[in-house]
Structure 1
């Protein structure tokens, strides 16, 4: 049996980044990980950033293009693949009312092509329970 490695990023990891040079050590390591290891691995957690505008609904502000570009560049450079998901569309809500309410998909699961080839993967997003995030 092969070993699997799972990274769980912290919520602030992509919140204030402007370039990949600014990536804090855990993300820098994850970005370089595919070059170093030839095994299945997963990155699961709250990235606090959307990858594109369609991954956000509501509110008055548009996500910063710079943050989306940085996030997408990280995904590309780390050769990450997002497995199919089932269940909820949005993984976070700011719990405000009316036009101020925002839904986003900021909690994500990524894997590499080795894991995709070795086993079928389906991520199930569960309903929120005592949090503004889904499980």
Structure 2
């Protein structure tokens, strides 16, 4: 179990969110979860047991009123997580996986305010300056190109996307390939008012890519939220395509064919 999951669940108290989360954890062998927009000012052991079970430890940043809230959970039977830094937009820490060592993990909930975005990139640069395999996941609230949006106003490469791209260049982070639905968020409106966007993603640095060269994120089905959960597996294996060999019985009568078949 070495899969990380990030999800803007839009309310951790919803029964359908808890049911879906348990299903995803079981199906994808998840050991670390980052939940955004919990909309909870206080979360205790009882709520965590209901949400995911008593084998999970947690760290929570409260919501302000009914807005926001961030929660990280980790399966204490498999991994350990030490929080190293927090803000209103991120939780950063060291994830220790016995078979893979220490990974820097940051869960991000990007603000729509440009000034607060500057604070986020500065905090991440400070927290991720050490040469460790690192992953940043969550809801960035930012679209990087026109292909990541459908509907609504025309995409403009404004200050927000420029600063995010600059951060990725400065710290050598990469947006790895993804499978599943193209867009991770929908406003759920009808007709021409409907907007789709890729607001959620995982960024992986080059040191991490050396350990998981086949890295990819999975965009899962949108259930109980207008955002898709996104998952990244840390021990993703490179799939080798196998070529099939056709065999005709009559070939056995040719001496040369025997040698060819043996070496194949």
Task: Place the TM-score, normalised by the shorter chain, in its bin.
Answer: 0.7 to 0.9
- Which of 108, 122, 127 is equivalent to 2:216? 122
In structure 2, what is the Cα distance between the partners aligned to 1:70 and 1:30?
A: 13
In structure 2, what is the Cα distance between the partners aligned to 1:90 and 1:62?
A: 15
Moved more, 123-132 or 63-72: 63-72
Distance change (3 Å), C-alpha of 1:63 and 1:101: farther
In structure 1, what is the Cα distance between the partners aligned to 2:184 and 2:178?
A: 11
Tell me the SS of whatever aligns to 2:114. coil
Tell me the SS of whatever aligns to 2:121. helix
Give 1:69's aligned residue. Answer: 162
Higher RCO (C-alpha 8 Å, min separation 6): 1
In structure 1, what is the Cα distance between the partners aligned to 2:155 and 2:174?
A: 25
Tell me the SS of whatever aligns to 2:174. coil
Give 2:197's aligned residue. Answer: 104
- Which of 7, 16, 39 is equivalent to 2:113? 16
In structure 1, what is the Cα distance between the partners aligned to 2:189 and 2:220?
A: 21
For the pair shown, the structure with the greater C-alpha radius of gyration is 2
In structure 2, what is the Cα distance between the partners aligned to 1:101 and 1:33?
A: 37
Structure 1's consecutive aligned runs of 4 or more residues displaced over 3 angstroms after TM superposition are 60-64
In structure 2, what is the Cα distance between the partners aligned to 1:76 and 1:62?
A: 21
Q: Is the 8 A contact 2:145 2:155 kept in 1?
A: no
Count the aligned residue pairs.
129
In structure 1, what is the Cα distance between the partners aligned to 2:193 and 2:121?
A: 31
Following superposition of structure 1 onto structure 2, how do residues 1-80 of structure 1 map, counting pairs within 5 Å?
A: 1-12=100-111, 15-17=112-114, 23-24=118-119, 26-34=120-128, 36-63=129-156, 65-80=158-173
TM-score, structure 1 length as denominator?
0.84
Which structure features the higher share of strand residues? Answer: 2
In structure 2, what is the Cα distance between the partners aligned to 1:47 and 1:63?
A: 16
- Structure 2: segments with no counterpart, 5+ residues: 1-99, 230-264
- RMSD across aligned positions (CA): 2.0
Tell me the SS of whatever aligns to 1:37. coil
Q: Is the 8 A contact 1:2 1:39 kept in 2?
A: no
